[in-house]
Chain A
Amino acid sequence: MRNWLYLHTRAVSRALARLARQPFGTLLSALVMGIALTLPAGGMILLDHASTLARGVSGKPEISLFLNDDASPAQTDAIRQNLQAEAQIEGIRFVPRDVALKQLENNGLGDVLGGIAANPLPDAFVVTLKGDDPALFDTLSTKMRNWAGIAHVQIDSAWVKRLAALLELVRVTIWVLSVLLGLALAIVTFNTIRLQILTQENEIEVSRLLGATDRFIRRPFYWFGTLQGVLGGLIAVGAVWAGFHVLSAPIAKVGETWGMPVAPVSLNGIEGLAIVAAAAALGWLGTAISVRRYLTM
């Protein structure tokens, strides 16, 4: 175990020495990796914030149940009990016709309503659901339409569908981008390691003659690729952090215009670690392909 650690320590120090020997090349490769990672990493985190913002702007998805004008109190109670029995319903609010009329008057429609003799509005229930799955809205509204005393069921799920579709599109786009850029990064590492192997041909050959195993010879290259990935990941973390720092104020302004206070977009420790780990994994992957291709005895 001690020898294993010693060998890895030596391999790490050799890899660091090789990285330090070509500071410009190392920086360029790390920048390429960092910049390529910034886009998907920042996009994913921004998507999370955008989803939260969109939910906040549009409020909780609702279903409105308008009652018949001649709905009896018993039917109203039965509808309330039915709603309370539904596991997917989170909140129930009864809006009597008089309250609804007052709300319209408060919204500046008093003059229009003044010309009408009787209150034309029905009593209504407004319910909010636990999830925002469009299919759930469809199922529940179909069921509610069959209840006695219900005149009309209005689902405001169209925006839910649109938002879900939009967010899904963005999510898929970011994933596709992530896979393509990840592949590109693995190829960058693959090529860097290939060049490293070529420049250290003499050392590799001498090591083989002295009895080095493939594992011994490959070890510094694995560390080299992984450390280069870590450097790229750190650059990406820095770039994402800086990007969010710059974008926070404009995003907050957008939130203000919608009457929603938006917390500053930021990168937490776990997200930062995930970016560095992903970059390291891509570096390792590129190295693995390269050494298998070019370092076989």
Chain B
Amino acid sequence: MIVFDRVTKRYPGGYTALDGVNLRIAPGELVVLSGHSGAGKSTLFKLIPAIVRPTTGTVMLNDQDVSRLPKRAIPYLRRNIGLVLQESRLLFDRSVYDNILLPLIINGQPPSEAARRVSAALDRVGLSGREKEFPAGLSGGEQQRVAIARAFVNRPSILIADEPTAHLDPVYASEIAELFKSFNSAGVTVLVATHDTSLFRHWSPRRIALDHGRLMEQ
């Protein structure tokens, strides 16, 4: 369960990204978040893995107050959250395999188990046999699929994707959307921020929107 309780985030300089947001997301939900650029979508997502902290209010994740979590506990929180950002943020000096392996190493998975999971993840995103390639040799859609594989290879209970299809053509974008739906069908809580809300229309997700930092349920 993710709970935002009267969360306000004001950045230095006075810009208010979120203004008194109240939100509850149940385990296993598929939530599509929309809103114009600067509406506060990224900030809302960054509050969950404690990339940013709220100015006021609390963010609870599975009864844990994320907004007051000590710094040393944050890495362990993030290992249970899969993050996919607008830019794939892959490491271009490492192979596809090593990119997907990274969270497993961080999480201390034994090498044999890690190798098995990377293979399964590659298979899931349709990139089997491409593990030795480097990200620069992949298309934008393939790079995003590698980023998705990296996000879920640790089997997180929550998957957060911030504009994952922003730079992709419609065919790749719907493939990515289907991937997220398949994770959600497996019980993962999926939160996707997107301008193109039609991508998920077939699956009747919960739709919420942000407008100038204020949340509106749709």
In the complex where A6-B111, A297-B71 touch, is A211 in contact with B106 (Cβ < 8 A)?
yes
**A216 interfacial by beta-carbon distance below 8 Å:** yes
**A58 interfacial by beta-carbon distance below 8 Å:** no
In the complex where A211-B78, A213-B75 touch, is A206 in contact with B91 (Cβ < 8 A)?
yes
B74, B75, B76 — most chain A CB neighbours (10 Å): B75
**A87 interfacial by beta-carbon distance below 8 Å:** no
Q: Tell me, in angstroms, the Cα distance from A297 to B71 when the chains sit together.
A: 8
**B103 interfacial by beta-carbon distance below 8 Å:** yes
Within 8 Å CB of A206, what residues of B?
Answer: 89-91, 102
Assess whether A211 is in contact with B107, with CB atoms less than 8 Å apart.
yes
In the complex where A7-B105, A202-B89 touch, is A210 in contact with B71 (Cβ < 8 A)?
no
**B79 interfacial by beta-carbon distance below 8 Å:** yes
Closest to B91 in A: A203
Q: Tell me, in angstroms, the Cα distance from A211 to B75 when the chains sit together.
A: 4
Closest to A206 in B: B89
3 nearest A-B residue pairs (beta carbon): A211-B79, A211-B78, A210-B103
Q: Tell me, in angstroms, the Cα distance from A2 to B91 when the chains sit together.
A: 26
In the assembled complex, how far is the CB of residue B202 from the closest CB belonging to chain A, in whole angstroms? 30
**B13 interfacial by beta-carbon distance below 8 Å:** no
**B150 interfacial by beta-carbon distance below 8 Å:** yes
Q: Tell me, in angstroms, the Cα distance from A58 to B125 when the chains sit together.
A: 83
**B51 interfacial by beta-carbon distance below 8 Å:** yes
**B110 interfacial by beta-carbon distance below 8 Å:** yes
Q: Tell me, in angstroms, the Cα distance from A209 to B77 when the chains sit together.
A: 10
Within 8 Å CB of B150, what residues of A?
Answer: 210
Assess whether B75 is in contact with A208, with CB atoms less than 8 Å apart.
yes
How many residues on chain A are close to B (CB under 8 Å)? 18
Q: Which of A191-208 contact B (CB under 8 A)?
A: 202-203, 205-208
Within 8 Å CB of A212, what residues of B?
Answer: 75, 106
Q: Tell me, in angstroms, the Cα distance from A212 to B78 when the chains sit together.
A: 9
Q: Tell me, in angstroms, the Cα distance from A202 to B154 when the chains sit together.
A: 21
**A3 interfacial by beta-carbon distance below 8 Å:** yes
**A10 interfacial by beta-carbon distance below 8 Å:** yes
Closest to B82 in A: A210
- Other-chain residue from B72, B83, B90, B108 in contact with A209 (beta carbon distance below 8 A): B83
Q: Tell me, in angstroms, the Cα distance from A141 to B75 when the chains sit together.
A: 74
Within 8 Å CB of B107, what residues of A?
Answer: 211
Closest to B85 in A: A209
Residue contacts A-B, CB under 8 angstroms, 12 given: A3-B110, A6-B111, A7-B105, A207-B106, A209-B49, A210-B79, A211-B75, A211-B76, A211-B77, A211-B79, A213-B75, A297-B74
Q: Which of A2-59 contact B (CB under 8 A)?
A: 2-3, 6-7, 10
Within 8 Å CB of B79, what residues of A?
Answer: 210-211
In the complex where A6-B111, A211-B103 touch, is A202 in contact with B75 (Cβ < 8 A)?
no
Assess whether B91 is in contact with A202, with CB atoms less than 8 Å apart.
yes
Within 8 Å CB of A205, what residues of B?
Answer: 89
Within 8 Å CB of A210, what residues of B?
Answer: 78-79, 83, 102-103, 106, 150, 154
Closest to B71 in A: A297
Q: Which of B90-124 contact A (CB under 8 A)?
A: 90-91, 102-103, 105-108, 110-111
Within 8 Å CB of A2, what residues of B?
Answer: 110
Within 8 Å CB of B110, what residues of A?
Answer: 2-3, 6
A7, A209, A297 — most chain B CB neighbours (10 Å): A209
Within 8 Å CB of B78, what residues of A?
Answer: 208-211
A3, A7, A206, A297 — most chain B CB neighbours (10 Å): A206
Within 8 Å CB of A7, what residues of B?
Answer: 105, 108
Contact with B along A257-297 (1 / 0, CB 8 A): 00000000000000000000000000000000000000001
